[in-house]
Chain A
Amino acid sequence: MKILVPVKRVVDYNVKIRAKADGSGVDLNNVKMSMNPFDEIAVEEALKLKEAGKAEEVIVVSIGPDKAQETLRTGLAMGADRAILVQAEGTIEPLDVAKILKGVVEAEGPDLVILGKQAIDDDANQTGQMLAALLGWGQGTFAFKVEMADGTVDVTREVDGGLQTVKLNLPAIITTDLRLNQPRYASLPNIMKAKKKPLDVKTPGDFGVEVKNRLTVLETTEPAARKAGIKVTSVAELVDKLKNEAGAI
């Protein structure tokens, strides 16, 4: 069985981004970029399934600029077998990403696609569900635990109020939540090895997709900053402020 893992190059989660003063977008000059953290969890889960003998091949795919090759190399260094870059500049909305991924799925024939539940840049939380819809597959979103069986997979999901387990017929889509696993770091020898692993470069057109954005961003702004508060020196002062100044208790 093959597992396909889509990975996205995003601003590193430690970077605090700023909106440009003219409202035209977010300032991404010279900021550190990394693999989306949820996608690292997806790569890890695929590798664990391979190591457990449940899958033969793990393919990482990224849709993005040439630089997304770095992200794919990170996936290869973690242990993925090969990579596909679908080269596309600028914003590619989740619906188009899902359409391109559908083309990749049809070309590669994986039984499982594991994606991050959301990318930490657009916070959209859509691509996995959209891909499942376009393929007519079952979806196990926000995965907390994944258990493979013969022809099916049980996915325990993080939901409001607790956990829910669904059984999906293969092929299926899984999206990862934070507690599914702890992604490994790539070792130096594996980073060197990853440089020699195959990386194919394609275009959206190769999968019959013409990128066409539906959304126009009219303005990007920062939220109003909270006014600075005060430090209280004791619990008694805190209680007094909450009761008599804020009326909060």
Chain B
Amino acid sequence: MATLLLAEHDNEKLNDATLRAANAAIQLGAEVHVLVAGQGCAAAGEAAAKIAGIAKVIVADDAAFANQLAEPIADLIVSMADGYDAFVAPATSNGKNTMPRVAALLDVMQLSDVTEVISADTFVRPIYAGNAFQKVQTSDVKKVLTVRTTTFEAVALDGSASVEAHGASVGNSVSSFVGAEIAGGDRVDLASAKIVISGGRALGSKDKFNELLEPLADKLGAALGASRAAVDAGFAPNDWQVGQTGKVVAPDLYIAIGISGAIQHLAGMKDSTIIVAINTDEDAPIFSIADYGLVADLFEAVPELTASI
């Protein structure tokens, strides 16, 4: 049979997470169909058709799907379920919201945050903030998985799959969209950045956080991230939180500034290629995983670093 991949998009383009989840979906071994659900999402459908290695794109264009609410999207996927034996989405906030709903309606267990596809029924996934990994085999006939995108490469965009429209509509009498505050700006996206600069509690204020870290990030073309303590204190927006319960990133270079290195933080960044830590406490746990540690006061070291690159 086939695998259905739920695409994430802004009606125009797909995000990088979708291209990475496509890699995992293709590894399941069956034909992959990509579902683009939204309102006025034809352009995203065309973009999805270019994903290399997929067989077909299905565009479900309906007002009910405008804001990607879990209830109608899950109902849509379940209405198509007969033709599929696996359902895949990136483990983004949308994927995490929607896919367990799909799994429960299909009476199957979801495999969350899959980091490796061993075979069509066996997967590796992290537990305990990534301090252990489980190899799990599912006995469910239909598989539902969300994919940890940092461990899969994005597939190329040189394909030319066919695009078909999905006519049926679904209702939603239980939830409705009220509004969203989505940060715009041209800062590089945290999840797909090559370099991430993260600040912790030690920055002391939002002003200092921005004053010290933004120029460095600008110079390096980096995304900004933060520890939970920095987010809780209001220095940085919620979705900059890196960690077990925030974003998982694995850039080429991760610079942790004034972050102690709690296990929950390490869970979100320890697969980065090169890790740099700047901290006044030479015994801070972050140094145990840093390739380059600098014991220094960040208020002096960061401006100096910015000036010297």
Which A positions have Cβ atoms within 8 angstroms of B? 11, 13, 16-19, 26, 38, 93-95, 98, 117-118, 120-134, 136-142, 144, 154, 157-169, 172, 177-179, 214-223, 226, 228-236, 238-239, 241-242, 246, 248-249
Contact = CB atoms under 8 A, between A and B. Distances in A.
A177 B93 CA distance: 12
B291 to A, nearest CB: 4
A168 B176 CA distance: 7
Nearest to A218: B135
A26 B308 contact: no
B110 A124 contact: yes
B65 to A, nearest CB: 14
Contacts of A126: 100, 103, 110, 112
B309 A239 contact: yes
B133 A223 contact: yes
Interface string B127-160: 1111111111111100000000000000000000
Nearest to A139: B70
Contacts of B126: 123
A219 B124 CA distance: 9
A142 B97 contact: yes
B108 A125 contact: no
Given A95-B103, A164-B180, A123 B112 contact: yes
Nearest to A17: B128
Contact of A19 (B113, B132, B183): B132
Contacts, number: 256
B292 A229 contact: yes
Contacts of B275: 226, 229
B139 A158 contact: no
28 contacts: A11-B128, A17-B131, A95-B107, A120-B128, A129-B97, A130-B100, A133-B74, A133-B101, A138-B71, A141-B97, A142-B96, A164-B67, A164-B182, A165-B177, A168-B174, A177-B238, A215-B111, A215-B137, A217-B134, A218-B136, A222-B131, A230-B291, A230-B292, A235-B294, A238-B294, A242-B292, A246-B274, A248-B195
Question: Which among B100, B109, B183 has the highest number of chain A CB atoms within 10 Å?
Answer: B100
B180 A165 contact: yes
Interface in B261-309: 263-264, 270, 273-276, 282, 287-296, 301, 304-305, 308-309
Contacts of A26: 127-128, 132
B239 A161 contact: yes
Task: Describe B's contact surface by its main secondary structure.
Answer: mixed
Contacts of B305: 235, 238-239
Nearest to B300: A235
Contact of A166 (B96, B105, B110, B175): B175
A221 B136 contact: no
A160 B92 contact: yes
B220 interface: yes
A100 to B, nearest CB: 13
A215 B180 CA distance: 37
B253 interface: yes
Given A130-B101, A248-B253, A229 B291 contact: yes
B51 interface: no
Contacts of A168: 174-175
Contacts of B195: 248-249
Contacts of A17: 128, 131-132
B210 interface: no
Given A132-B71, A242-B292, 19 more contacts: A18-B132, A19-B132, A121-B127, A129-B98, A130-B110, A139-B70, A139-B97, A162-B237, A165-B180, A168-B174, A169-B174, A178-B228, A179-B231, A216-B137, A217-B136, A232-B292, A235-B296, A242-B276, A246-B253
Given A136-B174, A139-B175, A229-B290, A162 B100 contact: no
Interface in B78-136: 92-94, 96-105, 107-113, 122, 126-136
Contact of A167 (B74, B176, B231, B295): B176
Contacts of B102: 133
A249 B103 CA distance: 43
B69 interface: yes
Nearest to B237: A162
